[in-house]
Amino acid sequence: MMSGMGGKAVRRFGWAAVILAALTLQGCMDHAAGSDQDPKQAADAKQEPAIPVEATSVASSDVAAFYSGTATLEADEQAVVVAQITGVVLEIEVEEGDFVEAGQVLAKVETNRYRLEVEKAGAALKRLETDYQRKKELFEKELVSADDFERVSAEMQAQQAAYDLARLDLEYTNIRAPISGYVSERMVRAGNLVKLHDPVYRITSYDPLLAVLHVPERELSVLHKGLEVSMSLDAWPGESFAGEIIRISPVVDPGTGTFRVTARVGDRDRMLKPGLFGRVEILYDLHENVPVIPRSAVITEDESSHVFVIDEQGAASRRAVQLGYERAGMIEVRDGVTTGETVVTAGKSSLSDGVRVEVISIGQQPRA
């Protein structure tokens, strides 16, 4: 009885040993298989997944510096034509919108009275000239006194002046344009009585037209005469008109902190008119072949700027940059990155220095 029970115990022990040996062998095999795995793959398996971002390459381009403002076109030359005599307007020679040359007749005033004044003054002058010649001959023969001769001479000179004034008044019955330009306003009609110095016409010269800007004083050091100007107008969408700065006021208005800049704007096909409103850009500097990146790539904190640069292994590193001119969404980088490097443009808020990223989109470079 005891021997039977001992045989069963031996058999149980034998089966347990077999199971233990099998488990030990399986563990050794698993360890051997694990020792063959690439350590880099094992390390990667433990890394966090890459963060998706959008990026673009640092390009090389020209970046221009502009001052932008608004202005209303003004005429450089404008004249209000006034009557230089009193009389009734007989004829209207030009209308609003007509182009006139300097000296052209605009209107005519009655002439009869002024013609008669010329004839009267002319007759008196002729009589005095005859008297003068007679007195001169007598004076040379010492038959009249010097006082008599000088009196006749003075009377003739005075009458000559009266005759010239009468002729001038007659000429003034033709109201003429003092400058070349367009008739922008007519203030009289035929049959109206005009008095001396009454306004009768307004003439505006369209060449040149001026854009007058009031520029903040911080731009005083960069603007000067001769700089190129480009003006776009609401009246002509899609069109641009070139010009240049011709005058800069040396005085800054203490009330507004601005100074006056006057630019001449060139017209073409008579498209421009005084009073048109538009936007003006003044090119004052140009940096050629400099690194540029989209403005969206820049992180600005506490007056310092940074970007995230992606290296060849796909890691993003934070890098300080010095920025320059900005134009059309592109900004110059004076220091911090070089042409050809890749910077993050979207997804920056999720990044930290050294984190792995996955570029899911390469942005298009807008024109600078």
Q: Are 272 and 218 members of one domain? A: yes
Instruction: Report how far residue 94's alpha carbon sits from residue 18's, in angstroms, rounded to the nearest whole number.
Output: 126
CATH number for position 84: 2.40.50.100
How high is the pLDDT of residue 364? 54
Q: Are 124 and 182 members of one domain? A: yes
Residue 228 lies in a domain: yes
Residue 42 lies in a domain: no
How high is the pLDDT of residue 363? 65
3-state DSSP assignment of residue 41: helix
Q: CA angle, corner 193, sides to 203 and 172, nearest 5?
A: 55
Q: Are 103 and 184 members of one domain? A: yes
Could you give phi then psi for residue 57, rounded to 5 degrees? -90, 150
Residue 158 lies in a domain: yes
DSSP string of 93-148, one letter each residue: ---TT-EE-TT-EEEEE--HHHHHHHHHHHHHHHHHHHHHHHHHHHHHTT-S-HHH
User: Tokens 């010492």 appear where?
Assistant: 142
Q: Are 102 and 191 members of one domain? A: yes
Q: Are 282 and 300 members of one domain? A: no
Cβ count within 10 A of residue 241: 22
Residue 269 has pLDDT above 70, yes or no: yes
pLDDT tens digits, one per residue of 275-298 = 899 999 998 888 889 999 999 899
Residue 89 has pLDDT above 50, yes or no: yes
Domain boundary among 150, 177, 201: 201
How high is the pLDDT of residue 357? 86
Which conformational region is residue 298 in: left (phi greater than 0), alpha (psi within -120 to 50 degrees), or beta? beta
Q: Which of 41-45, 266-270, 318-322, 326-330: highest mean pLDDT?
A: 318-322
Q: Are 183 and 212 members of one domain? A: no
pLDDT tens digits, one per residue of 23-46 = 444 544 444 444 444 554 444 545
Q: Quote the longest CA-to-CA distance of the chain.
A: 199
How high is the pLDDT of residue 113? 92
Contact 246, 266 (CB under 8 A): no
Give whole-number Cα distances, 327 to 47, 54, 55, 269, 368, in Å.
40, 21, 19, 31, 6
> Total domain count for the chain?
3
Residue 314 lies in domain? 51-63+287-362
Give whole-number Cα distances, 38 to 27, 29, 89, 313, in Å.
20, 17, 108, 18
Q: Are 103 and 197 members of one domain? A: yes
Q: Are 102 and 140 members of one domain? A: yes
CATH number for position 273: 2.40.30.170
| pTM recorded for the entire structure | 0.58
Q: Are 93 and 125 members of one domain? A: yes
Residue 46 lies in a domain: no
Residue 322 lies in a domain: yes
Could you give phi then psi for residue 43, rounded to 5 degrees? -65, -40
Residue 118 lies in a domain: yes
Looking at 173-182, 184-193, 242-251, 263-272, which range is the least confident one? 263-272
Q: Are 278 and 327 members of one domain? A: no
**Helices and strands: H and E segment counts in the chain:** 4, 19
CATH number for position 313: 2.40.420.20
Q: Are 257 and 273 members of one domain? A: yes
Domain boundary among 255, 286, 317: 286
Residues facing 100 on adjacent strands = 181
Predicted confidence band of residue 144 (pLDDT cuts 50, 70, 90): confident
Domain boundary among 229, 262, 286: 286
How high is the pLDDT of residue 352? 85
Q: Are 162 and 264 members of one domain? A: no
Which of the 8 DSSP states describes residue 48? P
Contact 213, 280 (CB under 8 A): yes
Instruction: Give the pairing of strands 258-265 and 199-216.
Output: antiparallel
How high is the pLDDT of residue 8? 44
Looking at 22-31, 66-75, 104-113, 330-339, which range is the least confident one? 22-31
Question: Which pair of structure tokens corresponds to residue 167?
Answer: 């002729």
Residue 218 lies in a domain: yes
Residue 183 lies in a domain: yes
